[in-house]
Amino acid sequence: MNRLRGLKDLVIDVVNKGATSVEEIHKAIAKLPFSALEKIEPLESSAKSAGKLQDQTIGAIYDVIRKVNNEVDKIATEILDKAEGVVEEKENY
């Protein structure tokens, strides 16, 4: 069971860190057009506002991915706890 728990923890950690890395790259790439538009004086304010909104939206999406991953962690932990209890009960007979 310890190996399964270790594997579960590894997968959860990789997904969380992967989501954060991809989020950072996504934000950096998505920022490029807005940075260009901000250099055009009549569009500067609108481009900044739109860029902030996009940044928040991207962040919210990756937050959901991490929240779902954390819920999967809780469910997997419960399943492993129950499976471990069943194994222990069988060993006690």
Q: Which pLDDT does position 90 carry in this prediction?
A: 65
Residue 93 forms part of a structural domain? no
76 CB contacts (<8 Å, ≥6 apart)?
8, 12
d(CA 54, CA 70): 24
Using CA atoms, how far residue 77 sits from 4, 10, 61, 63, 67, in Å, is 10, 13, 25, 21, 15
Identify the domain containing residue 60 by its residue range.
2-87
Judge whether 42 lies within some domain.
yes
| Residue 92 lies inside a defined structural domain of this protein | no
Per-residue pLDDT of the chain (93 residues; tens, 9 = 90+): 899 999 999 999 999 999 999 999 999 999 999 999 999 999 999 999 999 999 999 999 999 999 999 999 999 999 999 998 876 666 666
Instruction: Output the pLDDT for position 84.
Output: 87
Residue 26 covered by a domain: yes
Domain count, the chain: 1
- Specify if 18 maps to a domain: yes
Q: Please give the model's pTM, rounded to 2 decimal places.
A: 0.83
